[in-house]
Amino acid sequence: MPRTRSLAWSELKIGMLAFFAVTMAAVLIFMVGGEGGFFWERYHLKTRFGDVGGLKDGAVVRVAGVEVGTVASVEFTGAAVEVVMELKEDMQSRITSDSRATIGSLSLLGEPVIDIVPMTTGRPLGDWDFIRSGRTTGELRDVAASATEGLQEATRLLQDVRQGKGTVGRLFTDEELYRDVDGFVEAARQVADSLARGRGTAGRLLNDPDAYRNLESSFARFDLMLQRVNAGEGSLGRLLRDESIAKSMASASSNLEALTGKANRGEGTLGRLANDSALYNRLNSVSDQLDRVVARLNQGEGTAGQLLRDKQLYENMNGAVKEVRALIGDIRKDPRRYLSVRVSIF
């Protein structure tokens, strides 16, 4: 019997040792699992979201894409959802009051995770502090909403086209507009056909080698002319290259500017005419008087007016002039007949 009791105690010690070893290994695996480290190497942060998108306990927490902890709990707090995270303690210097927590995903259709943006500004967050949450851009639901909105816009556009609204809608529903477009296309086809056959100026230019050579020759002559101008040859070249001509033009411009300045200051006849109201009034009065004289002449008033308007008076004067000219001609032919001088004494 004593031997039997000794064996039982030895087995009991071995069993207790094995149980302790297995328990310690399980505890160590649990504490080290998930990249979280030992419990004394972790700290907690809290945040709140309006929608967590299926986030669950144990979800991955990443800082700049690196796994640094897990989600400890997801619970409702009023209308929001409060999320508690367990993070590595060495991340505390990288997560500050300026950091933001957003909900991301491991892949396009993967499970949700929490992404934290590290910051070098702001104060480091302590254990159980709140980190502000943000909205992740480019989420799947945002893409779906944008796609839905695009489909709705496309549907409205198709409805407008079917109702004949807009240019495209009228093109599909308006027979007259369709005929106009068809006529325009036909006219364009005829123009292209004429060009291909060498008709017209453009057609000859495309198909006639002589026309092309003539155009090329014209361009060559034009290029030669530009070269001569750049070389200072000819009047245009001298105008562009000769400094004396440029100085003469500058001097003429200065003289013109001086003349304009004198006229603006009222100097000289032109200046007084431009600035002296009395002189302008006198010239205007003379012009009015001339207008009245011309009007009286047109109406046949006075001797000059009758001369312009009375045909009989014009013919009488013309006849008198002819008779005077005939008399002068006769005197020149026979002066003695008209110029006889008699001298008598007593």
Query: 104 and 191, same structural domain?
Result: no
Q: What is the DSSP letter of 119?
A: -
Query: 87 and 117, same structural domain?
Result: yes
List, in order, residues 6 or more apart from 293 with CB less than 8 Å away. Answer: none
Query: 118 and 45, same structural domain?
Result: yes
The answer to whether residue 113 sits within a structural domain is yes
Strands 112-116 and 60-63: parallel
List, in order, residues 6 or more apart from 228 with CB less than 8 Å away. Answer: 234, 237
Separation between Cα atoms, residue 112 and residue 49, nearest integer Å = 13
Domain endpoint, select from 157, 173, 189: 173
The answer to whether residue 75 sits within a structural domain is yes
Query: 124 and 192, same structural domain?
Result: no
- What are 153-161's contacts with CB under 8 Å, separation 24+? none
Query: 42 and 132, same structural domain?
Result: yes
Please tell me the predicted confidence (pLDDT) of residue 35: 47
The answer to whether residue 244 sits within a structural domain is no
Q: Which domain holds residue 167?
A: 143-173
Please tell me the predicted confidence (pLDDT) of residue 45: 93
DSSP secondary structure, 216-230, as one string: HHHHHHHHHHHHHHH
Domain endpoint, select from 161, 184, 206: 206
Count Cβ atoms within 10 A of the Cβ of residue 177 and give its class: 0-12 exposed, 13-18 middle, 19 or more buried.
Answer: middle
Query: 192 and 131, same structural domain?
Result: no
The answer to whether residue 311 sits within a structural domain is yes
Please tell me the predicted confidence (pLDDT) of residue 97: 92
Helices 175-197, 200-207: inter-axial angle, 10-degree rounding: 40
The answer to whether residue 20 sits within a structural domain is no
Total structural domains in the chain?
4
The answer to whether residue 270 sits within a structural domain is no
Query: 107 and 77, same structural domain?
Result: yes
Distances (CA, A) of 256 to 41, 98, 262, 263: 93, 72, 10, 10
Domain endpoint, select from 114, 136, 158: 136
Query: 127 and 51, same structural domain?
Result: yes
The answer to whether residue 233 sits within a structural domain is no
The answer to whether residue 325 sits within a structural domain is no
Query: 127 and 54, same structural domain?
Result: yes
* pLDDT tens-place values along the chain, 346 residues long: 445 445 566 666 677 777 777 777 766 665 555 444 555 678 999 999 988 888 999 999 999 989 999 999 999 999 999 999 999 998 889 999 999 999 888 766 668 899 999 999 999 999 999 999 987 655 556 666 777 888 888 888 888 777 777 777 777 777 777 777 778 888 888 888 877 777 777 777 677 777 777 778 888 888 888 888 787 777 777 777 777 777 777 788 888 888 887 777 777 777 777 676 776 777 778 888 888 888 777 777 777 777 667 777 777 777 888 888 887 877 777 777 666 655 555 4
Query: 102 and 49, same structural domain?
Result: yes
Query: 102 and 56, same structural domain?
Result: yes
Tokens 């945040």 label which residue? 47
Query: 149 and 59, same structural domain?
Result: no
Please tell me the predicted confidence (pLDDT) of residue 85: 94
